[in-house]
């Protein structure tokens, strides 16, 4: 018991509570959605949850320094998997993102998000201490720019955008000069433009979201149903399991889980989920600031990166369901269905909690 007390004394229990609450909300939604569609999503997700918790518990003892030292190796491993998807990847939903081992399928890009946070924080922490910045250009290109190009080739525009923005934000925080930042953003923009130029249909796909009722039974099918879910849910929602629109909504259990929540629980449910996510981000940013004050720069950058990544992912996911952005197949962290996503999130949280723990322990030691 005492060990548990110590665990929570030095870790943000509110943050963890929010994460568990989000996971449970997702589980509940998947339960009723699965019943309506006849799919065992809730059961599987619960199993993933147990696995993710085990992963969290197993890695929460790993020190921040170990994570930092192993960041390149972890990233290299994930990159290898990512490269592997080009050769033996299973194609799903028009993108090669999956590695299938027997009955188990793995989405390396989810783990790359975690790896990018580690390596990004690592590079920025180095930048904070090194006088000479030039030698940092090599790891930036090796660990960030190269994988991003891989993502663009997959093509996984959603993850590309997410990680690119997070990386730029971290480099900005680390003090990268504005002109390089602008140059970097310009390079990404140019790469993106090149991709659109090579495959013009992408542009149509990217812009059609703005008129979600043009092709209601074609490319706009998902989004129009998602909007209908919001409209039907109204303020208080139609109640659990009362899924008229949601049951017809493709990918309702991952891309559009928030729309399903909106139909079942209305604006109230939406606000609760959004508030919990906001809280998660605020607590992560607070951890980052505390770490920065203590001079624990790896932890600080990691926490800021986590906050940025989460915000971007939430915004892209929810905006997609509201036809404010094209739907990019990004999950809603902790809520959406998916074993890889959940496992990667558990690892991210594990490291974040470790940062929190070490910062507090550091403060206590000083006193």
Contact status: 231 vs another protein (CB under 8 A): yes
Residues 310 and 284: beta-carbon distance below 8 Å: yes
Beta-bridge partner residues of 91: 96
Contact status: 52 vs another protein (CB under 8 A): no
- Judged by DSSP in three states, 220 sits in coil
Least CB distance to another protein at residue 248 (A): 8
> What number of CA atoms fall less than 13 Å from residue 324's CA on the CB side?
8
Pick the piece of the chain touching another protein (CB under 8 A) from 19-27, 42-50, 76-84, 228-236. Answer: 228-236
- Considering only residues 70 through 109, tell me which ones interact with another protein, judged by CB under 8 A: none
**Cis peptide leading into 168, omega within 30 of 0?**
no
Pick the piece of the chain touching another protein (CB under 8 A) from 16-24, 84-92, 109-117, 229-237. Answer: 229-237
Which has the closest alpha carbon to 323: 209, 204, 208? 209
Q: Which is nearer to another protein, 50 or 231 (CB)?
A: 231
- Considering only residues 322 through 361, tell me which ones interact with another protein, judged by CB under 8 A: 322-324
Pick the piece of the chain touching another protein (CB under 8 A) from 45-53, 193-201, 212-220, 344-352. Answer: 212-220
Element (H, E) at 133: none
The order of strands in the sheet holding 95-101 is 90-92, 95-101, 104-106
Contact status: 289 vs another protein (CB under 8 A): yes
Pick the piece of the chain touching another protein (CB under 8 A) from 55-63, 191-199, 249-257, 296-304. Answer: 296-304
- DSSP string of 54-106, one letter each residue: HHHHHHTTS-HHHHHHHHHHHHHHHHHHHHHHHHHPEEETTEEEEEEETTEEE
Contact status: 281 vs another protein (CB under 8 A): yes
Pick the piece of the chain touching another protein (CB under 8 A) from 79-87, 145-153, 166-174, 354-362. Answer: 166-174
Q: Which is nearer to another protein, 76 or 165 (CB)?
A: 165
Residues 357 and 124: beta-carbon distance below 8 Å: no
Angle between helices 178-198 and 146-153 (to 10 degrees): 20
Residue 285, judged by CB atoms within 10 A of its CB (0-12, 13-18, 19+), counts as: middle
Q: Which is nearer to another protein, 92 or 177 (CB)?
A: 177
Residues in the chain: 367
Contact status: 141 vs another protein (CB under 8 A): no
Residues 321 and 258: beta-carbon distance below 8 Å: yes
What DSSP character marks residue 298? H
**Out of 40, 193, 213, 361, which residue is the one contacting another protein (CB under 8 A)?**
213
**Out of 21, 136, 142, 206, which residue is the one contacting another protein (CB under 8 A)?**
136
Least CB distance to another protein at residue 143 (A): 16
Contacts of 312 (CB under 8 A, 6+ apart): 161, 162, 165, 166
**Out of 259, 300, 327, 343, which residue is the one contacting another protein (CB under 8 A)?**
300
Q: In the complex, which residues of this chain contact another protein (CB under 8 A)?
A: 36, 127-129, 131-134, 136-137, 169, 172-177, 180, 212-213, 216, 224, 227-228, 230-232, 241-245, 247, 274, 278, 281, 285, 289, 292, 297, 300, 304, 307-308, 311-312, 314-315, 318-319, 322-324
């Amino acid at each position: 018991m005492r060990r548990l007390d110590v665990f929570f004394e030095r870790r943000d229990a509110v943050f963890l509570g929010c994460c568990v609450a989000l996971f449970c909300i997702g589980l509940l939604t998947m339960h009723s959605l699965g019943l309506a569609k006849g799919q065992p999503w809730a059961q599987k997700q619960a199993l993933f949850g147990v696995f993710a918790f085990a992963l969290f518990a197993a890695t929460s003892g790993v020190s921040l320094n170990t994570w930092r030292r192993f960041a390149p190796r972890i990233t290299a491993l994930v990159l290898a998997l990512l490269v592997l998807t080009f050769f033996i990847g299973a194609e799903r939903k028009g993108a090669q993102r999956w590695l299938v081992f027997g009955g188990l399928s793995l989405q390396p890009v989810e783990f790359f998000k975690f790896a990018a946070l580690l390596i990004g924080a690592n590079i920025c922490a180095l930048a904070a201490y090194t006088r000479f910045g030039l030698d940092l250009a090599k790891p930036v290109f090796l660990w960030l720019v190269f994988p991003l190009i891989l993502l663009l080739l997959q093509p996984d525009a959603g993850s590309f955008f997410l990680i690119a923005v997070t990386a730029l934000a971290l480099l900005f925080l680390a003090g990268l000069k504005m002109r390089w930042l602008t140059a970097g953003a310009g390079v990404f923009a140019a790469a993106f433009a090149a991709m659109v130029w090579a495959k013009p249909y992408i542009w149509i796909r990217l812009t059609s979201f703005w008129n979600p009722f043009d092709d209601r039974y074609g490319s706009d099918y998902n989004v129009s149903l998602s909007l209908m879910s919001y409209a039907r849910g109204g303020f208080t929602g139609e109640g659990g399991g009362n899924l008229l629109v949601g049951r017809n909504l493709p990918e309702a259990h991952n891309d559009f889980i928030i729309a399903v929540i909106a139909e079942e629980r209305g604006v109230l449910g939406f606000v609760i989920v959004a508030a919990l996510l906001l809280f998660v981000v605020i607590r992560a940013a607070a951890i980052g600031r505390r770490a920065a004050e203590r001079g624990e720069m790896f932890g600080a950058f990691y926490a800021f990166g986590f906050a940025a990544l989460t915000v971007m992912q939430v915004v892209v996911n929810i905006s997609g369901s509201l036809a404010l952005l094209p739907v990019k197949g990004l999950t809603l962290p902790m809520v959406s269905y998916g074993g890889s996503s959940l496992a990667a999130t558990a690892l991210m949280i594990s490291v974040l909690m470790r940062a929190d723990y070490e910062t507090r322990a550091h403060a206590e030691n000083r006193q």
